[in-house]
Copies of this chain bind each other. A is one copy, B any other.
């Protein structure tokens, strides 16, 4: 528990940036160690293998990220906050990653957004493992606020919520490109657009019902 973790941290930072930039598979250990200014063998010494490095890169950020989401959800539950607040608790911590100081951190949101659909099975496994309990708690919070919706429909809609968010964090360039620079996924207003759109979607009547219909 000393400050010896120098090489480890340098590796995690370099890997985070290069994973985000080129993908986990395409970022070579040679490129990572060179950027970190350490020897090639350091990865296998400190993390056992490339997969160990991948796991460490994800764990380092996802732990605190989920903790923040869940503690904000706790607050929200005490105050019996509206759907909008639940969405903010879910989304804002991720969007804020994009505006934080260290360069690698900023890239992590992009990396994470992409990782849901990663072809690499190990990466996907890491994501489902690390995010599982958090996802379930948010799904419950939404279900409690939308008692008229069947459980299956809650899950569908939460899937869409996650999709819109992941798309925004991982393909922000696309939006910037099509809007010719007018919309920037890194702006604080992204949160407001997401919350407005998604809360309206969540509040829609159940599939098969007319507008204003009842359960």
Contact = CB atoms under 8 A, between A and B. Distances in A.
B117 A178 contact: no
Interface in A122-141: 128, 132, 135-136, 139
Interface string A167-201: 11011001101110011000001101110111111
A153 interface: yes
Q: How large is the interface on A (under 10, 10 to 19, 20 to 34, 35 or more residues)?
A: 35 or more
Contact of A152 (B120, B132, B182, B203): B182
A204 interface: yes
A146 to B, nearest CB: 12
A135 B178 contact: yes
A171 B116 contact: yes
A23 B182 CA distance: 32
A148 interface: no
B179 A152 contact: yes
